[in-house]
Structure 1
Amino acid sequence: MPDPVHNAGEYSVSEISMALKRTVEDAFGFVRVRGEISGYRGPHSSGHAYFALKDDRAKIEAVIWKGNFGKLRFRPEEGMEVIATGKLTTFPGSSKYQIVIESLEPAGVGALMALLEERRRKLAAEGLFDSGRKKPIPYLPRVIGVVTSPTGAVIRDILHRLADRFPVRVLVWPVRVQGETSAAEVAAAIAGFNALAPGGAIPRPDVLIVARGGGSLEDLWGFNEEIVVRAAAASQIPLISAVGHETDTTLIDFASDLRAPTPTGAAEMAVPVRSELVGTVGDLDRRLDGAMLRLIEGRKRELRAATRSLPRLDDLLAIPRRAFDELAARIGRALGANTLAHRGRLERTAGRLSAASLDRLTIRARDRLTSLGERQGRALEVHAERKRAGFARIAGRLRVEPLSQRLARGAVQIAELDQRGNRAFIRIVEKNRDRLDRAWRLAETLSYRSVLARGFALVTDAEGRTVRMASKVTSGEALTIEFQDGKIGAVAAGGAAEPRPKKAAKPKPPTQESLF
């Protein structure tokens, strides 16, 4: 039977897939889809991001290409409700349709606030907002670094306030304070100021001010990004945040060392008022002058009081002057008596010194020297004879023995010593073995494991202490019972049991000693 003829045209799989793709893209070339992000795991290694948008009844696959992902004002997060703008298309390889997202925004201020609160809790848990990390602001900085837009009114307000209060050097790092690249530029500016070397060509600021005027939550969102908060927390230079008006709060305010309500307030917090400082220094200078004058006057009065109690110069020198006069009067008589005494000694000595007495002394000294020379000669002969006799005795004892005999006798002695050493070593080893055996048998006898082998058990509490009395055990206490072959855990079921009455001792049979 021949096949029936159909009028419907035939499509290949590729043709029908491409036709569906063109139809969907033509019909939904621009759509805004609201849904919850699902399955987001961050950008792929290629830079593209793949996830899904869902509500309570349906789900659609979504993709953000690498070029559009870098332009997003905020990063997607799992569970966030967003409004995605893009176009629908199909993926012929798996017969699926998806939305190619070109822009992404949170679904209302409520979603942004929820995201902000979740990010705040996350960063606070890491300790970035701890008060112990905050650094004090220097009282009088020489250089102030400002991170803000160079064309806005904020930088003019800061410069004007600094000029009014205390003119200092200001370095401005221009950044965008709103938009897609705002967060990265602010973080790079903070890190750049910290990277300046002290004493370099560009002075390193003593304090930083990150400032921006007021705006909506979306306008200030760049200062809520993690990259900005982490850069502020990692800054080694004290940082003042002045983002928005007094009622505006961003996450950089929590990470900074000091929060200012406005950019103008940040300038007021950074420097004191010069006129007030000059007045304070002048007042302190006047107080210091007055204190010095009072101190000098007080010291003068003390000096006058001290001088009145000192004696006069004539009174101090009266006694030394009298002693000097008495000594001066006595020195003449003393010198005359001393001269007469020395003259008498000289005359007596000169009387004993005559030519005959000198000859007698010379002869006597010559005889004594001759006698000493003779005695020295005899002593040397006796000493030489004694040494000669000693050398003869030593030579008689030193007999030369052939080398072979000496080696043979030494070998015999070494062999005897080796045998004696072996026998002594064996005796020491046997003696120590016997002592070790006796100690081991004694340790086995005294060990509690020998008691366990006889049927007893060792009970310990949870801390490993031995339980010796039932009265020490409380109900429900965890115990460990050790037997000969191992340990088991136990729990006490009740309190201590009543002690058993002692059995009456059986009368002992009479012995031979008791009969007599």
Structure 2
Amino acid sequence: MSDDSYVFEGPADEPPAPPRDNNPPLSISELSFALKRTLEDRFSHVRLRGEISKVNHHASGHVYLTLKDDKSAIDGVVWKGSVRGLGVRPESGLEVIVTGKITSYPARSSYQIVIETMEAAGAGALLAQLERLKTKLAGEGLFQPDRKRPIPTFPAVVGVITSPTGAVIRDILHRIAERWPCRVIVWPVVVQGDAACGQVSNAIRGFDAMRPDGPIPRPDVVIVARGGGSVEDLWCFNDEGLARTIAAASIPIISAVGHETDTTLIDFVSDRRAPTPTGAAEIATPVLADLQYAVADFERRLARAGGRILEDRRTRLRAAARGLPARPEDLLALPQQRLDHAGSRLGSALHRNTAVHERQFTAISARLSDGLLRRAIERRHDRLTAYADRFAPAMKRHLERDETRLAALARALASLNPKTPKPGFARVEGEAGLMIASAAALQDGQAVRLIFTDGARGAHIDGGGDAPAPRPRPAPPAAKPKAPPPGQGDLF
């Protein structure tokens, strides 16, 4: 007997069982997530140096960018919670050193770095020039704290040097109105470009030359403000002439240029630097200490109460997270990134949808013409004419019925007219010819006229309270017995 005799063979009509595979195929998602776990385990903490390009500040708060050198490039993402903690603001062309972990985006089969920290790699030509100018002015003593003027506690007039358009001036005016209702004088200037340095310098000298008793009062403090931007956008505030003008001014000046991480030369020579234009309005106006104390007290109480709640929720969350296949942050990272990409495509999809509807509307409007409207009007005119032909006879019959009813009502009204002869009725009139309709209107001895159908007679009221007894009517004559009908005899 051969070795085949040991193999059980089923019925002849059943196909043989397929051979077992020791290497089953993986799905695309299984492979993608396996690679993702491998990358995150192997490169959980890396430190890279490169130049930033293709920066995209998404509406969700995340920042997407590309790090490159002379040969390679890698995509990077900064989650919304880590953006505030970056040492520098991500800008195209800036060389930085970043730390984070390498992960993958399975939807595109690409890898990327999740950036946690970022710092500048070195100073460029502009930054080197700025450092030399700072060293020069610092050597002249323009940065010394003892030469800085104090900010007045209760300013009556606040001067603002900024662009008259944009959100900066609105934020400053709104903040000052909330905190300290004082007069604000705005000196409009351009805050970017070659002309910005001269205009800001002229505005500072103009404010400084005003008199307190002049037609326009002299400000007690001046705010130089501008919104955020790149190093090139803010470079006009690194001008040496502008810095010397601020240092020579007699009015206290608050510098509020850019965001909190932006630094310009005038920040060092001004009397006070504000992190933002809104912060400058808070520094220039009083009651800040009281508000800070109240807010700090509420903050401490809220922190203690919230800390206990957060700790309790954190404990529960950690207990629940143990059953998850990965960290909650990793589970949410990919859906967030997919949502960002879907949101980026939403605008173009809406434009395409509008174009489709526009084409459909154009195709439908091509079929509209004056003939369609004219035929519809003719159909309704014919229908109205048919209604009018049926309406005229019906209206005639209705008028005839109303005319008959009106004649009957006229006859009934004529029967009620006092001038119509009616036996037994008379009209009583006073001396003035007015008709008397009730006995209460008569007086004793009053002369009246009785109007009959055949004439009038005078009479006087006798004043008797009771009406005279009516005369007895004579009995009607006895009716003669009728003759019996012919042919009928008398029964009696």
Q: The TM-score by the shorter chain falls in which range?
A: 0.3 to 0.5
More helix as a share of residues: 1
**Structure of larger gyration radius:** 1
Normalised by the length of structure 1, the TM-score is 0.32
